[in-house]
Amino acid sequence: MNNTLKTLAIFSSLVTSSYSLAFIKGADISWITQMEDSGYEFYNDWGYRQDVLSILRDHGMNAVRLRIWVNPSDGYYSSLDDVIVKAQWAKDANMDVMIDFHYSDTWADPGNQWKPSQWQQLSFEDLMGQVWSYTRDSLNTLKAAGITPKWIQVGNETNNGMLWNDGMASNNMRNYAWLFNSGRNAAKEVFPDAKVIVHLANCHDNANFRWIFDGLQSNSAWWDVIGASSYPKNATGLTWQEANNQCLSNLNDMVERYGTEVMITEIGVPWDDPQAKTIIADMIQKVRSIKQDKGIGIFYWEPQAYSWQGYTLGAWDPNTRQPTQALDAFID
């Protein structure tokens, strides 16, 4: 190749890289260590065994999301030590990292936001202090391990607050806002450039989003990014098209109402759905189209999960152990 062609090739590579990094495309891969330790193997589109992060990168992904539990029952998976292992893998793969604090010993979601067992007897003031110190200490440990998260999620699917019952928003919105601020302030102390996310489920439910974010705002809480979960085939009473359209409308409303960036931090469809690629591609296009260029990215939730703990919304074929067409939607 002559020098002119080399220059053009390098320029083209830089343009492509800049474009791909401008929009976040990622995956929550929190199960990966447990799956690999259980003997799971992963194969690429050509049928060759390969590590998951390389396969995801080949499908256009540039970021990973990692959940953290305070004291998981098995003592390791989704613990801070486990998160550091996976975050270092992501760093080595030149992928950005989102840290997702559940503030629980197990799954935190709209129906489960229970305090860690060791925090059960704390007063509300001590609980705020514990959220602050736990968040700060966890992030300082990540920092010492050479990890710099680009995003920090304070709470997971907090549709009715977190750290129940103290932080149940329907009982006391102020308490939820103050607990959120405790985590946010700690995150900004350790990583001032990281973007702090408030994450809710059911992207199509504008009323719930307005209620939570109006409540946070009126109680002096603030955030950098609004994150949403969207599982279009599971949206009760809606077609996937209606779910995607309502999600877009909601995210545009969030931008207009609060002025902050928005993203899909979780999406998934049944692994064997023939429309999987179409559904995901439609949502990617919609997030890209959000007003004021405030739609910054989308994360697939546990795409590598196949025949694992009953989960069927991954993007891997359990028969071939290869990616399904859903991942192709992330390729520019």
* The pLDDT value given to residue 9: 36
Q: Is the pLDDT of residue 126 over 90?
A: yes
pLDDT digits (tens, 9 = 90+) for 33-48: 999 999 999 999 999 9
Residue 104 above 80 pLDDT? yes
Helical pair 124-144 and 173-190, crossing angle rounded to 10 deg: 30
89 CB-near residues (< 8 Å, 6+ apart): 53
Q: In the prediction, which pLDDT does 10 show?
A: 34
Better-predicted residue by pLDDT, 2 or 282? 282
Q: What burial letters (b/e) apply to 213-233, b meaning 16+ CB within 10 Å?
A: bebbeebebebbbbbbbbbbb
- Stretch 224-250: mean pLDDT: 98
Give the model's pLDDT for residue 22. Answer: 79
pLDDT band, very low/low/confident/very high, at 54 (cuts 50, 70, 90): very high
CB-count burial class (<10 Å; 0-12, 13-18, 19+) for 106? middle
Average pLDDT over residues 10-32: 66
Higher pLDDT, 315 or 15: 315
Which residue, among 84, 76, 130, 121, has the nearest Cα to 103 in the 3D structure? Answer: 130
C-alpha dist (Å) from residue 269 to 10, 25, 101, 215, 279: 37, 16, 24, 31, 8
When pLDDT is averaged across residues 153-181 and rounded to a whole number, the result is 98
How far is Cα 97 from Cα 177, in angstroms, rounded to an integer?
A: 25
At 49, list the tokens. Answer: 């065994």
Query: pLDDT tier at 18 (50, 70, 90 boundaries)?
Result: very low
Average pLDDT value for residue range 143-166: 98
Domain boundaries, the chain: 24-330
Strand partners, 209: none
Band (pLDDT 50/70/90 cuts) for residue 1 is: very low
- Residue 40 sits at the vertex; the CA angle it makes with 36 and 43, to the nearest 5 degrees, is 110
CATH classification code of 24-330: 3.20.20.80
pLDDT tens digits, one per residue of 67-93: 999 999 999 999 999 999 999 999 999
Can you give the pTM of this predicted structure? 0.93
Residue 100 confidence (pLDDT): 98
